[in-house]
A and B are shown apart, each in its own frame.
Chain A
């Protein structure tokens, strides 16, 4: 599907990317003002990956996500008021305040969860694919992870299991150039992380991760292949994290010039240019405004919600023991 020529797809892509951008900016702001607790991993600059990838999925499909997972949740259709409520430590949050930013899941949209452990979701995605395969279903699992995950043992084990059993999994690497401060150049001997696919006998492709169309095309191909029972693929989407790794990041490992150069490649600005012939200025502005309003409303709703309660904690550990 050409996301730039189809007006509905263009609007949806743009609205998704703006919602992620505005959500992350709001979180950054709430955090800076001391109104949000804990730590946050923001995905500003990386919006094209979840937006392009999730458009290739349909109802019943699954995703696994990462510590930098707000974008995946939003692109997969999570409720941003419940996400915001979780970050604001409210009882109405996705995890009732027990998980926070790194553990948001939305089972209704097949989102099996963000994950605080790098590559933790990779073998889990293989397992979800195994469940589909055992049931004879045609659902697909997209596993999002960063460049850092590709050097974890869990990544190798999970990708290999999916490969040997031809499981319906699409491994989507968001290569944002840094595992915290460790650059891809220092952490890998290969130039392209997609080269790792060859080691598992599966297709691997590297695409421009700041172009939702490129991401969408590659992930769609991989999803079709998986749905047809032809096994997993690896898609490397090259992108860039504008903000620090988390709140402790002083950006000592990269230059201002490097960050500036990538900001010039803003996926949203690029996509707005690409859809200029399809969407009017008013359409584009409407997408932007809808995203802004939705995030404002999410903050309002979340702030009005009751705080997460500690009274049921002990009963929350085991399934089947809730009061």
Chain B
């Protein structure tokens, strides 16, 4: 008997996000959107598009440039029974809103002894590659992952952009969804139904026996591209995508590294204090330690602000060729 696959068609990552927002708003009157230029303008990256025409200005609510106020309003609305979804135009601007994210949203459920919760979602595009320079290109996931009370999601495919967002909107906790600007125009198969992708489940994107590559965000597609090139040389890589950074589903990573004995951890963010250090710790603190054939390796962005000039910008974050070289080195040296 053939399993019936859910109906899929090809959507861009941005369209997938928009479809999740629309389906969530159709299904639940409590869901509404808040953000800068998300209405008639359609969002700085075109993500909300025509939603204001479908759901009206009250539920697709343009805000002044007041990130702290916007996130605070979402916290208050969530406390009062709504399901707000905030768009912060560039993830860099969350720095303006950190009090409401870190001191309020993340802690209220705990501080109040469980008497209240803050079911809100904050979507924000991160990452470099658009020539937008240091204040519009950061990868700040480690900031949020460090805060108990927040959940942190980084979708790397169109299907996950939809499914993880729907799961985030369902979640009774504040969820930070870090989308990637370079992925917005990438296409992929996306279910038509409002199919959830559970938070906290690492995806195995490719299986290979020589090295485990763990990557997040736009680095997932670069890792897959690198794995293809490595295969031509006879090196088989597994590529794992945590998708949810907090809570991290470490078991598939541990299992894969146990099998391959080699781990290459790839992130766009600067290395120091980055999330892949947490993944490295999860590996070496686990039973996979005894199976390691090589030191755990990280390939990260340089510890510099993202520069403007295209050649400098490329040099500041891992490229496919860098992943190929580092993986090859791990496999051939050890």
Give residues in A with beta carbon < 8 Å to B. Answer: 62, 64, 93-99, 103, 105-107, 112-113, 115-117, 120, 122-132, 134-135, 141, 153-154, 156-158, 160-161, 164, 316-320, 322
B59 to A: closest C-beta gap in Å: 7
Kindly state the separation between the CA atoms of A301 and B314 in the bound complex, as whole angstroms: 65
Binds A, one of B37-45, B110-118, B257-265: B110-118
B115 touches A122 (CB 8 A): no
Given contacts A120-B100, A131-B82, contact A157 B116 (CB under 8 A): no
Given contacts A93-B113, A160-B66, contact A130 B104 (CB under 8 A): no
Give residues in B with beta carbon < 8 Å to A. Answer: 32, 58-59, 63-64, 66, 68-82, 84, 99-100, 103-104, 108-119, 148-149, 151, 171-173
Kindly state the separation between the CA atoms of A197 and B115 in the bound complex, as whole angstroms: 33
B72 touches A124 (CB 8 A): yes
Which residues of A are found within 8 Å of B78, using beta-carbon distances?
A: 127
Which residues of A are found within 8 Å of B114, using beta-carbon distances?
A: 96, 316, 319, 322
- Indicate the member of B74, B76, B171, B172 with the most A CB atoms within 10 Å: B76
Kindly state the separation between the CA atoms of A316 and B69 in the bound complex, as whole angstroms: 27
Q: Which residue of A lies closest to B78 (CB)?
A: A127
Kindly state the separation between the CA atoms of A108 and B84 in the bound complex, as whole angstroms: 22
B74 touches A320 (CB 8 A): no
The 3 nearest A-B residue pairs measured at CB: A127-B76, A123-B72, A157-B69
Which residues of B are found within 8 Å of A158, using beta-carbon distances?
A: 69, 72-73
| Number of inter-chain CB pairs below 8 Å | 153
Which residues of B are found within 8 Å of A157, using beta-carbon distances?
A: 64, 66, 68-70, 72
Kindly state the separation between the CA atoms of A160 and B63 in the bound complex, as whole angstroms: 10
Which residues of B are found within 8 Å of A161, using beta-carbon distances?
A: 63-64, 66, 69-70, 73
Which residues of A are found within 8 Å of B172, using beta-carbon distances?
A: 318-320
A-B contact pairs, 18 of them (CB 8 A): A94-B112, A96-B114, A98-B112, A105-B115, A113-B112, A115-B104, A124-B75, A126-B69, A127-B76, A127-B78, A130-B82, A134-B32, A141-B76, A154-B100, A161-B63, A161-B70, A318-B109, A318-B173
A92 to B: closest C-beta gap in Å: 10
A82 to B: closest C-beta gap in Å: 10
